[in-house]
Amino acid sequence: VLLISALLPFTVSANGGDQRVADGYLVNLSRAPFTPVAGVKTALLASFVDLKTGRLIQDDMLVSIRIAEGRGSRAFIHEKQDVPIKGGVLEYSYTFQNPGMHEVFFDFKLVNDATQKVHELPDFLIDVQHPVIESRGNTQSLTLGIVIGLLFGLLIGMFIAKNTKSE
């Protein structure tokens, strides 16, 4: 139980990912935190793998990123076109403004491909959570309350001790 309790904070802030396949390519989208929170920057890491070789795509690529709010919506709240990447890995950060379901789309093409085919992947569905509102009490009031409580306890203890000695 102690070991699980000690490891619990690390699992709460863990990152994770999802995979999508299209046209013989696999894309793994990792994010940290795994469940984004509205108003907090989310780190996105997309890895593009050629399923024929089982390795990251080494050719230069152009990736387009689109984010829609709500499920099935094609009204994009964020679009970034033709982001150049090398080595098959895209690092990207985004701050979701509102809680709820969001769809993230990645389309890509290989720069040296003569056909210039755009590979369109199925969406990544992300559930953005409400921000956690922490109750932060005034630490000065808390400290003052503790000191007053200690002094009051000390005075009562002295009073009881004095009355006990006199009997």
pTM: 0.67
* Residue 4 dihedral angles phi and psi, to the nearest 5°: -65, -45
- 7-50 pLDDT, tens digit per residue, is 444 444 444 568 999 899 999 999 998 889 999 999 999 999 99
pLDDT band at 6 (very low <50, low <70, confident <90, very high): very low
> Cα dist. 84→40, 48, 116, 121, 134 in Å?
25, 13, 14, 17, 40
Using left for φ > 0, alpha for ψ between -120 and 50, and beta otherwise, residue 133 falls in beta
- 71-111 pLDDT, tens digit per residue, is 877 789 999 999 999 999 999 999 999 999 999 999 999 99
CB burial class (10 A; 0-12, 13-18, 19+) of residue 64? middle
